[in-house]
A and B are shown apart, each in its own frame.
Chain A
């Protein structure tokens, strides 16, 4: 391929990747930007002022989404680190089946299980509540954490634990001083991406939250549907935030094994 053609195709790729974000960004700083104006006639930060005005729903949704994503990521880590250790360090009968069972929730679409989970949660009194939404977000986030952590543990030298034990360290000391420092970078990556996966959820939140738990993606569609394109533009820009921050933190790890199970869905 000639260098010129390579650059040309690269530019086309870059333009295509950015294109859908352009109207979202422009609406967040525009007033009355309608056909056939190519660029807004009135540029203004008014949409952002309104988004954070006292009567706006956006700050509440921002807090709810963040809270749910933090809780779901923390729970997924608490459950997923031990499971990842088991899959990364041990060979045992039925391992392939366990891996399949833990991978399946990533592939089976949310709506296929969500409607049934709604039935389970209805009996447990968890529908229309934030705790219920946090729990249902474990379905997409937990497999993610397990597979990142099993990759981390596959490269972990468990002999160091035995050495520490033989030198008189107690199990908790081994956990804290030997294992944790070694797997800390993996935990950070797994946790950040679990946060992001929860942050992006739509149909599971809607099914279990019943419209009472309003997260950013839900409010985004509500505002766009109500013709408040400027507010939807602000919401879209806010939704990009965590992804950009996380990328700045862990850009190097992103192409690794964790991504291989599905991006942020």
Chain B
């Protein structure tokens, strides 16, 4: 640490840009949701949005997608990290694939999942080849389906490596000592993992999980491709209102955007509140 000079001068340009773009974007979105800029302020858009059943169904769907994706990604990611920390044939390849997966744009992965899991997709063709189904209709609807299975499958595919790599990095810096100590005191391997390693990994897992939750809750390009047409995920609904030819729908789009921002803000607060403790 050096104490000389002032950090604010170096921070100012970056903070300024974030304030204008991010802060300005949020402020104008909020103002727009109150219909400001088109004469006066009103709660009309908020009342319309909050009293609309479709909005609540979309919110519920997005929360389901985020919860399911985060839970599955955390559990499988933890399992994958435990698997990949010991040497075995194929370990290097799996780690490399984890890293490659992180660099793949979501749009590419989502299209891959569509062509993999749709009723005429790759898995359906393998099933037909094996004689399990007669035609596309015999294959269960895994994409654009009621339960958002395709969407969740995409997020799990994309986020397991993200969580796995973060946990692997944490395990590496923790070393084997905590677990070895527990083992030498008579703990079984599973007990050492559950009672010693897992609590040490928890802070990193919670933060990574929060990032996954926020992303799977608020991303647009994945549900727009892999989701059913009604109800749509909340971001898709917001975009539909935003691009509605009827300009009166604009304030409603802004209110939906603010709703999405609100959920992620609550999440940041919950996950990062104690980060300096």
A interface, CB within 8 angstroms of B = 1, 3, 6-7, 9-11, 13-14, 16-24, 27, 34-38, 78-80, 82-83, 85-87, 89-92, 96, 98, 100-117, 119-120, 135-136, 138-139, 142-143, 146, 158-159, 162, 196, 199-200, 202-203, 207, 216-217, 220-221, 224, 229, 232, 236, 239-240, 242-244, 246-247, 251, 254-256, 259-265
B260 close to chain A: CB less than 8 A: yes
Kindly identify which residue among B22, B114, B267 contacts A113, using a CB–CB cutoff of 8 Å: B22
B111 near A111 (CB under 8 angstroms)? no
B257 near A202 (CB under 8 angstroms)? no
22 contacts between A and B (CB under 8 A): A19-B122, A20-B157, A82-B10, A82-B11, A83-B10, A100-B268, A107-B210, A107-B264, A108-B264, A109-B264, A112-B261, A114-B257, A115-B29, A115-B254, A143-B18, A203-B239, A236-B111, A239-B107, A240-B104, A247-B99, A260-B208, A264-B102
A259 near B102 (CB under 8 angstroms)? yes
B13 near A17 (CB under 8 angstroms)? no
Closest 9 CB pairs of A and B: A109-B218, A243-B103, A20-B112, A116-B29, A86-B7, A200-B105, A83-B14, A116-B25, A23-B115
Interface size on B, residues (CB 8 A): 104
Complex Cα–Cα for A239 and B104 (A): 8
Could you say which residues of chain B place their CB within 8 Å of the CB of A244?
Answer: 100, 103
Could you say which residues of chain B place their CB within 8 Å of the CB of A106?
Answer: 211
Q: A90 and B1 in contact (CB under 8 A), knowing A116-B25, A259-B102?
A: yes
Could you say which residues of chain B place their CB within 8 Å of the CB of A101?
Answer: 15, 18-19
Q: A79 and B108 in contact (CB under 8 A), knowing A14-B90, A244-B103, A262-B215?
A: no
Kindly identify which residue among B20, B97, B107, B161 contacts A220, using a CB–CB cutoff of 8 Å: B107
Kindly identify which residue among A18, A115, A199 contacts B32, using a CB–CB cutoff of 8 Å: A115
Q: A20 and B29 in contact (CB under 8 A), knowing A35-B120, A139-B21?
A: no
